[in-house]
Amino acid sequence: MRDAVRASLGIVVFLSAWTPGLGEEGFVSLFDGKTLEGWTVHCLPKDRELAKRAWTVDRGAILANTMGRMDHFYILLATNREYADFVLRLRFQVERGVTGNSGIQIRSRYNAATGWMEGPQIDIDPPNPRGTTGKLWNEGPGPHRWLSNEPVPNAAFRYADEGDGWNELEITAQGTRIRSVLNGVVVVDYDGKGVLDDDLHRKHNVGMKGFIGLQIHANDELKLRFKDIRIKEL
């Protein structure tokens, strides 16, 4: 994301599924801390050489690094498995001064013809960390736009030199509901009925089920780490 900016379930089940900070029971790791097994890099053919260096494993974390290189389109690291309803938890770290943009694609699918990974995205924007990080963006199909961009006065974010340097992000997708919690603060609680399940999203097979992807934004210098990536299917 960034182009345009810079432009009835049972009650008991529902509440339990949407309560942040639950224990780790039922969660499965998506990253072994050593390799990128279970993940695939997606990019346009022209960016394949850069992509080999853009996504690596460094000090037990997945490192996205395009520092010194802005001559690229989107470079994504995506799971090899699709997911529908789930709770996704991860930690990410950003060094102060990084100007690039990133995000977590969910229920998404890479379009090799366009170079876009289409579907909902939870934004990570180091230059504007408390403004858009954790917000919900539609990376297609159709217009790329915010789906949920309400102000969050108590938004919490830390750079690598603050505290332990890591941000905790939890994303829950259940039916047409998407919720994001950043460092214990709810940023998004969105019902996408009529959007995520509309004809266009169904045609592209995204919005309700798809892959999880980590994004390096086109033409951006980015240095960002991800670790402790785990998922619980609902």
- For the stretch 124-134, pLDDT in tens is 999 988 899 99
Q: In the prediction, which pLDDT does 5 show?
A: 39
CA 57, 59, 62, 65 torsion-angle sign: negative
3-state secondary structure of 203: helix
From the CA atom positions of the chain, what is the Rg in Å? Answer: 16
DSSP state of 192: -
Asked whether the beta carbons of 181 and 174 are under 8 A apart, the reply is no
Q: What's the angle, vertex CA 143, arms to CA 138 and CA 147, rounded to 5?
A: 35
Q: In the prediction, which pLDDT does 211 show?
A: 99
What domains sit in the chain, N to C, each tagged with a CATH number? 11-233 (2.60.120.560)
CA separation for the pair 50, 33 (Å, rounded): 22
Asked whether the beta carbons of 216 and 222 are under 8 A apart, the reply is yes
Low-confidence ranges of the chain (pLDDT < 70): 1-22
Tell which residue, 106, 97, 103, 31, has the closest CA to residue 74: 103
pTM: predicted TM-score of the whole model, two decimal places: 0.90
Structure tokens at 118: 């289409």
CA separation for the pair 231, 103 (Å, rounded): 17
CA separation for the pair 164, 169 (Å, rounded): 15
**pLDDT tens by residue, 110-151:** 999 999 999 999 999 999 888 999 999 999 999 999 999 999
Which residues lie closer than 8 Å to 216 by C-beta, 6 or more apart? 54, 55, 64, 66, 72, 74, 75, 76, 100, 102, 222
Residues shown for the chain? 234
The number of CA neighbours under 13 Å toward the Cβ of 229 is: 26
Q: In the prediction, which pLDDT does 23 show?
A: 80
Summary count for the chain: helices (H), strands (E): 4, 16
Q: In the prediction, which pLDDT does 7 show?
A: 36
Residues facing 233 on adjacent strands: 86
Q: In the prediction, which pLDDT does 15 show?
A: 34
